[in-house]
Amino acid sequence: MSAFVLNVIGDGAAPELFAALGLGKAAILSPDRAFDLPVAQQDPAPLLAAARGFAEGLALDINLVATAGRKKKLLVADMDSTIINVECLDELADMAGLKPQIAAITERAMRGELEFEAALRARVGMLKGLSLSALERTYAERVRLNPGAKSLLATMRANGAHTMLVSGGFGYFTARVAEAAGFHVERGNTLIDDGRALTGEVGTPILGRAAKLEALEDAAANLKLDYAQTLAVGDGANDLAMIQRAGLGVAYHAKPVVAAAAGAAIDHNDLTALLYLQGYSDSEIVAP
């Protein structure tokens, strides 16, 4: 077995496109959608660049993946814009008529231009007085699981993986999303309220970049796993530390600072791509 594979995912993906690389016979994970090519080079980085060059302009996700321990035993996932389709705080802001102002701060924080904890406090402070009914409306009307989320969770759990939803967002949403998607456990921040409306304060300590990394480290230690057996996925700067520590760190439709630092990037496909990255074939994927 080769130490690495070139993993290609996308509609119409064809091994023939990469024939000039001379990598050998493809292992088909999903017909016309995902496959692996064996990589013998000890330094495969130039090969990855060449492969992405061949596919320039095509909606293909191309990554190098180590074959040892490829199917991970711990998944730690960000929530907003990763497992679900929206940034919950921005949608709460929309309920308050403040979405442009708050979303601009969110974008800068996710790009790593602002310190996460301070940016979170500033945004929550702007929501002081927002009725608690806005949380219910936001979840019911705006929050949807991203395509592939249920299959990702069901498949990894069926293969013995522990799954954690760890968000810099809020426990009101993480609890509901974790149940809907199928996570074992969840962690999120706490919005303070007076029983009727938000006070503009967030509970401490704030769960940010360091806390996400700590969640990964604690879970790996408790489960007696090497980091090589872990997968972390997210899209914003506060996900960087856990993504870089995990054996397979995935930037999912991520900000440039995250995509540049992650071991793998998914820019064109849904969350089932995380299963193909781990070598799962269609016959092994659990339907939602």
Q: Residues with catalytic annotation?
A: 78, 80
Strand duo 4-9 + 34-39: pairing? antiparallel
Q: Among 150, 123, 109, 57, which residue's Cα sits nearest to residue 238?
A: 109
Structural contact between residues 10 and 60, judged by C-beta atoms closer than 8 angstroms: yes
Residue 178: Cβ-neighbour burial (10 angstroms; 0-12, 13-18, 19+): buried
The amino acid present at 196, given as its one-letter code, is R
SS3 6: strand
In angstroms and rounded to an integer, the radius of gyration of the C-alpha atoms of the chain is 20
The strands making up 61-66's β-sheet, listed across from edge to edge, are 27-30, 34-39, 4-9, 61-66
Total count of residues recorded for the chain = 288
